[in-house]
Amino acid sequence: MRVLITNGQNRIAYAALRSLGCRGISVCAADFIPWAMCFSSRYCQGHFRYPSPFRKPQECINSLIENGRRQNCRILLPIYEETFLIAKYQDKLKSHFSLAVPEYEKMLMVHDKKRLYELAQRLEIPTPRFAALSAPHPSHYPWLEEARYPLWLKPRQGGGAWAVVPMASFEELLRRWTRPDLPYGLPPDRFLVQEHVPGPIFCVAMLFCRGKLRARFTYRQVRNYPLRGGVATLRVSDRHQGAESSLQRLLEALEWHGVCQADFAIDQESGLAYLLDVNPRFWSATHLAVICGVDFPYLVYQLAAFGDIEPALEHPIGIQSRWFWGELRAFWEAFRQPGERIKALKTYSRIRGADSHFDDLCLKDPLPPLIFFIDSLRRMLKQRSLTLRPHDSLDGVWE
């Protein structure tokens, strides 16, 4: 059964493409840009472009149906933010494809940090203290004056380091609150203030079948881009019982169906795992799970095709994966810091050998990373920035 993968410009989609292609499964890739990296892969058996899921959502759905039928695709595997749109229209899509995605309302619940934290607190899952920026004044939250700074200004919906701003003092918080100077000119009700939890970041990914756990994978973030916190560029497979238990309890309460990933900060004093964010879709370190034997793209394919799968709950510890392009950008940021050049050279040139892998480099399939590099370089020159804006994104919020 041929699989249709969306968001072919994305290295997460490339991880899924390689996973399925190496198993001999025929895969068609699609995206709304003409130079998506997956289109040039040896594992891609067909490709097409669809309208932007953000600007033309209905046209995007119609294109997936029409072109998917032409390409003889039987299973739909959404990868990134377009997963929300596909979940919203899944009743229509199920007439044409088999798919395993969560219910749209449940995705919104965990994607909105305010709603997520309120749900987690009812389930007695630790979360950082937070304050909604839509409140008239910080005095509604007395803990803000006593909190450990920096605090984080974060969008209620969003991932990675998008629109995240550290605030070093209560005075800076007060200035932003009373005279809104917010990223991208967004309104205050799009943001909240989150307490900083000092400690390592552990990430847990799970696959559920109608409320029942079927796969689990845990890793620890080692390096990020941007350096102050963002998308992990180097991670290592690990375990953390507290974080795993919390995410399982959350998803069981929601009777989840499909993949989900969550970030936890492990408090360096108490050892408690504090839930930070949830991604109700595939995530940036999907390839690390694949090489550790918890092959989420293939497991979701099986779940969509056959209705259920055998559990995959164990994995080795200590396996690394690196995002090559992200490591380059993080290296340059570290290299530019005064007095840090030698340290940056030593840190980012170190490779551990057989237990270290790359998300986006494959000697057997060299064209996709080259296409991605050329596209990124072109956009950097055009935008005059190392922090690239996406080709297209959602101006509002999923609702």
- What confidence score (pLDDT) does residue 352 get? 61
- What confidence score (pLDDT) does residue 162 get? 74
Mark whether 342 and 324 lie in a shared domain: yes
Residue-wise pLDDT tens digits, 344-363: 788 877 766 555 689 988 88
Extended strands (E) in 210-315? 212-225, 231-237, 258-266, 273-279
Mark whether 322 and 207 lie in a shared domain: yes
Mark whether 166 and 300 lie in a shared domain: no
- What confidence score (pLDDT) does residue 3 get? 98
For residue 47, the domain's CATH number is: 3.40.50.720
Question: Which residues of the chain register pLDDT less than 70?
Answer: 160-161, 180, 351-356, 386-396
| Residue 394 placed within a domain | no
Mark whether 179 and 223 lie in a shared domain: no
Task: Report d(CA 99, CA 6) in Å as an integer.
Answer: 12
| Residue 397 placed within a domain | no
| Residue 170 placed within a domain | yes
Mark whether 86 and 113 lie in a shared domain: no
DSSP class of 140: G
Q: Give the residue from 194, 215, 231 where a domain finishes.
A: 194
Q: Give the residue from 143, 163, 194 where a domain finishes.
A: 194
Q: 79 lies in which domain range?
A: 2-99
Please tell me the pTM assigned to this model.
0.93
Task: Report d(CA 271, CA 50) in Å as an integer.
Answer: 46
**Count of residues for the chain?**
399
Residue-wise pLDDT tens digits, 323-333: 988 888 888 88
Domain count, the chain: 3
| Residue 218 placed within a domain | yes
**Which string of DSSP letters, residue by residue, matches 10-73?**
SHHHHHHHHHHHTTT--EEEEESSTT-GGGG-TTEEEEEE---TTT-HHHHHHHHHHHHHHTTE
Mark whether 183 and 291 lie in a shared domain: no
Mark whether 319 and 203 lie in a shared domain: yes
Mark whether 33 and 148 lie in a shared domain: no
For residue 163, the domain's CATH number is: 3.30.1490
For residue 274, the domain's CATH number is: 3.30.470.20
| Residue 393 placed within a domain | no
Mark whether 213 and 146 lie in a shared domain: no
